[in-house]
Amino acid sequence: MTSEFVLNFIQEAIKTTILVSMPVLLIGLVVGLIISIFQAVTQIHEMTLTFVPKILAILLGLIVFGGWMLEHMTSFTINTIEQIPNYIR
């Protein structure tokens, strides 16, 4: 197992992690920004106003993008398991 092989594997793992988490993180960011602007304009600073819409939006995002995320993670996992004989060398 060479250092190039290990670095390539780590790079693929990080790329997969970022790619899979990005849709949910972006949804949470956009909803949080919209709620912050709403709170600043109306001067309503209720804590539950921040969390409930974010949770609902992220849940909706997981429902919409969940299949794609699962497919991408499964592909990475299958590729990793298939490469185990190469890891041993």
Question: For 11-29, what is each residue's pLDDT tens digit?
Answer: 999 999 999 999 999 999 9
Q: What is the mean pLDDT of the chain?
A: 91
Task: Quote the CA–CA distance of 20 and 77 in Å, as a whole number.
Answer: 13
Task: Quote the CA–CA distance of 52 and 36 in Å, as a whole number.
Answer: 13
Tokens, residue 13? 């793992």
State the total domains in the chain: 1
83 φ, ψ (degrees, to nearest 5) = -90, 5
Q: What's the mean pLDDT in 38-52?
A: 86
Task: Quote the CA–CA distance of 21 and 47 in Å, as a whole number.
Answer: 25
Could you tell me how many helices (H) and strands (E) the chain has, helices first? 3, 0
Expressed as residue numbers, the domain containing 22 is: 3-88
Higher-pLDDT residue of 5 and 26 is 26
Question: For 60-70, what is each residue's pLDDT tens digit?
Answer: 999 999 999 99
